[in-house]
Amino acid sequence: MKIWTIIIICCMVSTAMQAQVFVTRTGSVNFFSETPLEDIKAENNQVYAAVDLSKKTIAFSMLLKSFLFRKALMQEHFNENYVESDKFPKSTFNGMFTGDVVPGKANTIRVEGVLLLHGVEKKITTHATIELKEENLTGFARFQLIPEDFKITIPGIVRDKIARQIDVQVTIDCKTVK
Amino acid sequence: MKRNATLMAYNNTCLLKSFLFLLWWMMVCAVYARSQDTSLMKMLEDSMAVTRQPQYTTGTFKGTHVINLHAVETPAQGVLLFMIMHRFGKINDGGYQLFGLDNATMRMGFDYGITNRLAAGIGRSTFEKTYDGYLKLKLLRQTESPGKIPVSVTALGGLAYTTLKYADKSYLNAKYRISYTLQLLIARKLNRNLSLQLAPAWLHYNLVPAVADKNDVFALGMGGRMKITRRASINLEYNYLPGNQVNSFKVYNSLSAGFDIETGGHVFQVHVTNSQGMVAPLFIGRTTGSWGKGDVYFGFNISRSFNIAKKKH
């Protein structure tokens, strides 16, 4: 009898532990650089994102070539000269979050993890808002990055046209996976 | 007593069994939980790998010209490219002419991207006061790994019209002043630094200097660029003109070597060449300078791109 009790308890525990995962393939990451000389804006609407509510883990992956710019030449320079997307095609984020996610309201959480860009890994921390509505999870985060932290060198002649800190905005609308 | 002991032993093995089972289950759960942490990223990577689309290779050449020869590149849709091509005089003119710097010919031109694949260009050279116009169409675009297209192919159709007035040649009407160019530009970006291009060309001159000269001239252009830094490259170009086509005067194959520097919206190209003309009928079929004799022109191309139409997302 005892054996069966234990097995049943174990099974119940394990079902409770089963991942509550939300994913999307069409998340968006935008970045902005504002200087008196030039404003640069790019968006990527093919961002892969996954959030696991039970383990409080979060992951992002995107192709740098999917960033679209207003000027074709900027896009070419971004890929060829700055992030070198032929060498480092992807940027990823792998992290955890703290804070409770209560369904039906906007929850502020703290996200901490490692951002991989241009072959350089850097730990970043930011606040994000998450809203859970039945089978949908939406999230928004905003943080700043310094290109030089990722060994992205900017030549002196264009230094004044690119902001020291790049503003990054992340928006995701995920669906649950069974 | 004996019975009691057996019962206790039974109870003990039972407890031991359940304890071992619990231990095993905890291990399974722990391993499962650990694998879950990394599998979130793995799940994304797998999903990305499945849905990955082939992507077009970009930046085969920095500019729309290798040096004199057109490159496979065209301006993107809505982009206007203003280009100044400039050639000084011959270096072997000597110190009196400051090695050619006293003289100059130039070509001013505009290229416009009608679509991302089609571009139109117009230009005007001081050399024989020549106007030129052309259309460039990207027929094929090289794609990257999982891609299947190994080369980029651009078709170029052009027309050159000389307007220089000759007091003694009143018969030179519009028809005689026109020459045509049809060229296929085939390029491959072999790796991030090296790109090579082959460019078979067919030229038609409505008027040639002598009976011995052919109106239809075939040539093979070759070009390449090797990046030396992220923003600079060394370029080489050779236009092979098979013999027995231009006979009334001595022509040479056009050979040019240069250096490209790119900064923001500008591409700056500095080079040396034995051709003075900067449009195909002139540099392919009418190059009279010889490298061997030192008939070398120092020159540069500067291009600046302007976005005149808003890009739609």
Give residue B148's pLDDT.
84
Closest Cα to residue B158, out of B43, B59, B57, B277? B277
Residues on chain A touching B47 (C-beta within 8 angstroms): 23, 25, 48
Q: Is residue B191 part of a domain?
A: yes
Annotated domain spans of chain A: 20-176
**ipTM higher than 0.85?**
no
Q: Touching check for A19 and chain B: CB below 8 Å?
A: yes
Between A and B, how many residue pairs show a Cβ–Cβ distance under 8 A?
102
Percent of chain B whose predicted confidence (pLDDT) is above 90: 65
| Total number of domains constituting chain B | 1
Mean pLDDT of all residues in chain A?
89
Average pLDDT over residues A74-95: 92
Q: Is residue B2 part of a domain?
A: no
Residues on chain A touching B25 (C-beta within 8 angstroms): 10, 14
**Separation CA B267–CA B275 (nearest Å):** 21
List pLDDT tens digits, range B258-287. Answer: 999 988 788 999 999 999 999 999 999 999
The domain that holds B287 is classified in CATH as 2.40.160.40
- DSSP for B64-84 reads SBSSSSBPS--PPTTEEEEEE
Give the CATH number of domain A20-176: 2.40.128.110
In angstroms, the separation between the Cα of residue B123 and the nearest Cα of chain A is 22
Q: Is residue B177 part of a domain?
A: yes
Top pLDDT among A115 and A4 is at A115
- In the predicted structure, residue B313 carries a pLDDT above the cut 50: no
Closest Cα to residue B250, out of B221, B293, B216, B280? B293
Based on DSSP, count helices (H) and strands (E) in chain A, helices before strands.
2, 9
Cα dist. B66→A79, A102, A116, B277, B301 in Å?
21, 60, 36, 15, 10
Q: Is residue B19 part of a domain?
A: no
Whether omega for the bond prior to residue B146 falls within 30 degrees of 0, making it cis, is yes
Give residue B5's pLDDT.
60
List pLDDT tens digits, range B79-107. Answer: 999 999 999 999 888 888 888 888 899 99
pLDDT-derived band at B27 (thresholds 50, 70, 90) equals low
Q: Which of A25, A43, A55 is facing B47, going by the closest CB pair?
A: A25
Q: Touching check for A49 and chain B: CB below 8 Å?
A: yes
In a mutagenesis test of the A interface, which of B41, B77, B228, B229 is the best target, namely the one with the most A β-carbons within 10 Å? Answer: B41
Q: Is residue B38 part of a domain?
A: no
3-state secondary structure of A150: helix
Q: Touching check for A156 and chain B: CB below 8 Å?
A: no
Q: Which domain holds residue B120?
A: 79-307
List pLDDT tens digits, range B50-79. Answer: 887 788 888 999 999 999 999 999 999 999
pLDDT-derived band at A11 (thresholds 50, 70, 90) equals low
Q: Is A129 exposed, middle or buried (0-12, 13-18, 19+ CB in 10 A)?
A: middle
Whether A21 and B41 lie within 8 Å, measured CB to CB: no
Task: State which amino acid sits at residue B62.
Answer: K
Give residue A7's pLDDT.
62
Average pLDDT over residues B4-12: 62
Residue position matching structure tokens 């093919």: A46
